[in-house]
Amino acid sequence: MLASHARSRATGVIARGAGRSYGDAAQNDGGDVLDMTGCDRILSIDGERRLVTAQAGATVARLMASLASFGLTLPVVPGTRHVTLGGAIASDIHGKNHHHDGGLARHVVALSLCTPAGGCLEISPENDPDLFYATFGGMGLTGVVVQATLRVEPLASPWVAEDADRTEGLGQTLELMAGEERHRYSVAWLDLLAEGSKMGRALVSRADPLPAESAPAQAGGLRGTRSAYPRELLRRPALDVPRRFPAGLLRPSSVRTFNALRWRASPRRERGRPLALVPYFFPLDVLGEWNRLYGPAGLIQYQFVIPSGQEAALVRCFDLMRLRRLPVYLAVFKRFGPSFGGPLSFPLEGWTLAADLPAAAPGLGPALNELDEVVAGCGGRVYLSKDVRLRRDVMRSMYPQLDGFHAQRNRVDPDGVLRSDLARRLGLCGAAQ
């Protein structure tokens, strides 16, 4: 059905979930786009075997809210709860716990995948590992994910216990985060607009699940998960940024002031502070349509990973950001654990930075091209799920297993039916680019 629908159109088809990607992976200029959000049923939850099966359009929020009544939760979540399951698979999402639990590919046990050449296939790591793992990070180009079965885990309480540290500059930040990581969750907010030696100062957050007996009395234990916690997951944002928000209000000077105030207001060192799970995992979800803060031109999120042992290249990236005066309004820094999954899966063992920049910033394109060269030159890569401007030749050097991906594409979509703007730009469409 997918093949007959798309072959009559020269521009192909791509599936789209909740539209939360920062890039053009679910856009198909002049072609067809399948809206998967209506396919959002949670089909089964097996509390004893700790498995959940859901359709591709189910969001992380719905999955977590449904699992909570069984005392369960997802093992890996991204930075927003509004991502669909299909989109999470296409991006092979990672969270604050990648160093401990890996990405989503480690926790999915089976997929239903609709392909142009083979129809609807039931695949798993056992019966078709090459196609299965090529689908994770494959940007929807190996087929349309129909449903998936995931391993889930016990939910102790809807809280974490956070250890917080404030650093004075980049050197101190890297030194602190390079130590042995014993916590399950770890992330740092970096101030990349601070000047001089303060550039790269950070608020480092490391946390572990909080047992029910230690959770705050007002919402502790599983009683809280059966009431307030699921409602919080499904609640609408407290405030929506208006469509015509004046872009001039968000500029380097105002963000620099905000960063300084936030840094000073945070404790130098704090241990065991209870934090509610939802705002800890999904801090930006409190503000609806927050991307409008960047004005009509929007933003670019540039996320890269630098392998362990290449810290000199990482410092070079920070130096380039400073020298090119890039207006990084938000910077999130994490460590990754070992790589796992298919040829287009993003994480490598090392360091990852996600930087939000106004798309209209002067000199942004050439500066990001310079950063691409440093990242590719040390064996690193850019996250395709957030990319909208990477060059084809650089992408090939970042993803050395690309031929393996094309082999799976040729097998399930030899005519290049599945296409997107990202796929055309990066040469991922196969025969019919």
Mean pLDDT score of the chain, rounded to an integer? 93
CA distance between the termini of the chain: 21
Summarised one tens digit per residue, pLDDT across range 301-313 is 999 999 999 999 9
Q: Above pLDDT 70, what percent of the chain? A: 94
Banded model confidence at residue 222, pLDDT cuts 50, 70, 90: very low
**pLDDT of amino acid 246:** 81
Gap between the Cα atoms of 144 and 13, Å rounded: 10
Residue 220 clears pLDDT 60, i.e. is over it: no
Tokens 């700790």 sit on residue:
50
Residue 9 clears pLDDT 70, i.e. is over it: no
Name residues whose C-beta falls within 8 Å of residue 116's C-beta, 6 or more positions apart in sequence.
Answer: 2, 3, 6, 7, 143, 412, 413, 415, 417, 418
**pLDDT of amino acid 7:** 46
**pLDDT of amino acid 227:** 64
Decide: 383 and 329 in contact? Cβ < 8 Å.
Answer: no
Q: Long-range CB contacts (< 8 A, 24+ apart) of 30-39? A: 31/419, 32/5, 32/6, 34/144, 36/84, 36/86, 36/144, 37/84, 39/146, 39/147
Compute the average pLDDT of residues 387-403: 97
Banded model confidence at residue 430, pLDDT cuts 50, 70, 90: low
**pLDDT of amino acid 231:** 93
**pLDDT of amino acid 249:** 80
Name residues whose C-beta falls within 8 Å of residue 383's C-beta, 6 or more positions apart in sequence.
Answer: 91, 303, 304, 305, 346, 354
Gap between the Cα atoms of 156 and 211, Å rounded: 5
Summarised one tens digit per residue, pLDDT across range 52-76 is 999 999 999 999 999 999 999 999 9
Residue 6 clears pLDDT 50, i.e. is over it: no
When computed from its CA atoms, the radius of gyration of the chain, rounded to whole angstroms, is 21
Residue 225 clears pLDDT 70, i.e. is over it: no
Gap between the Cα atoms of 22 and 289, Å rounded: 13
Summarised one tens digit per residue, pLDDT across range 74-93 is 999 999 999 999 999 999 99
SS3 313: helix
Decide: 310 and 378 in contact? Cβ < 8 Å.
Answer: yes
Banded model confidence at residue 433, pLDDT cuts 50, 70, 90: very low
**pLDDT of amino acid 244:** 82
Summarised one tens digit per residue, pLDDT across range 309-354 is 999 999 999 999 999 999 999 999 999 999 998 999 999 999 999 9
Decide: 137 and 347 in contact? Cβ < 8 Å.
Answer: no
**pLDDT of amino acid 146:** 98
Domains of the chain: 2-155+401-426 (3.30.465.10), 159-221+246-393 (3.40.462.20)
Helix (H) or strand (E) holding 208, with range, is strand 201-209
SS3 365: helix
From its phi and psi, is residue 105 left (phi > 0), alpha (psi between -120 and 50) or beta?
alpha
Angle CA 261–264–270, to nearest 5: 135
Summarised one tens digit per residue, pLDDT across range 348-382 is 999 999 999 999 999 999 999 999 999 999 999 99
Residue 254 clears pLDDT 90, i.e. is over it: yes
Summarised one tens digit per residue, pLDDT across range 120-174 is 999 999 999 999 999 999 999 999 999 999 999 999 999 999 999 999 999 999 9
Gap between the Cα atoms of 73 and 280, Å rounded: 15
Residue 4 clears pLDDT 80, i.e. is over it: no
* 388-406 b/e (C-beta count within 10 Å ≥ 16 → b): bbbeeebbeebbeebebbb
